[in-house]
Amino acid sequence: MVKSRDKAVGVDIGGTGVKAALVDVQRGELLSDRVKVPTPAGGEPDAIRDAVVELVSRLEIDDDTPIGVTFPAIVRRGRTMSAANVSKAWIGLEAESLFERALGRDIHFVNDADAAGFAEDHYGAAKDAAGLVIMTTLGTGIGGALIYNGVLIPNAELGHLELDGHDAESRASNRVREAEGLSWEAWAARLQRYYSHLEFIFSPDLFVVGGGVSKSADKFLPLLELQTPIVPAMLRNNAGIIGAAALARGV
């Protein structure tokens, strides 16, 4: 029997879908089925707010169950300072307050990659890792999270590092690999440039690679030559939900 103090809800808002579940934050496991709805067309704040309220209402939770919500944006003191694959109306919006009013309780509001990285550090591929862990998500763009000895350092926009005159994600994201029809070897050459740059700047102790393409990690990670160990993420599509819940509970 999971104690109530070990339960929290995680809500993960993405460009294509919004998903939520009740989480056991001691074990980093879902306690309920994952519920999901498509991200409303246009990604407007009120529409996404209503989608989150609908999902949370499907979960059987107590009034005092903490809720964590992720969002694909820079999040500063509860305000969204950017917008990726959603309406530009999010830029500068007091988003945390928007959700708190709708849900009738305090929430923990966090960048989506930060939540995923926190989950991998506490429950997944980087569990028990010491020092600096860098999580990168290779997808439509490149998301990033920095976790130092278990402490999240928020809003590391690692996909926007400049490399050879370009945003890194405009050269090395998984979407670019697919759009340009790159072979694994050709893509790995770009990733080599990217991760070597991260390694030089941060001197991390571990890289964790997430995103859907991490399921094919055996096709490209062995092609990289780095001093830092680099491993695929373990929690897959549940990482954001689990990380948001854990942060909301104050793990």
Strand 206-210 and strand 230-232: the pairing is parallel
User: Is residue 150 exposed (0-12), middle (13-18) or buried (19+ Cβ within 10 Å)?
Assistant: middle
Q: At what angle do helices 112-123 and 239-249 cross, to 10 degrees?
A: 80
Residues 6+ apart with CB under 8 A from 84: 15, 72, 73, 140, 141
d(CA 152, CA 207): 15
Tokens of 152: 């999240």
Mean pLDDT, contiguous 10-residue spans, the chain (251 residues): 90 92 96 95 95 95 94 94 88 97 96 96 95 94 94 93 92 96 98 98 97 94 98 94 96 78
- Helix ranges (H only) for 31-110 are 45-58, 95-103
10 neighbors 116 (Cβ within 8 angstroms): no
* Count, residues in the chain: 251
Residue 126 CA, chain-centre distance (Å), reads 15
The pLDDT of residue 4? 85
Residue 29: beta bridge partners? 24
d(CA 239, CA 247): 12
Full set of structural domains in the chain with CATH:
4-114+238-249 (3.30.420.40), 127-234 (3.30.420.40)
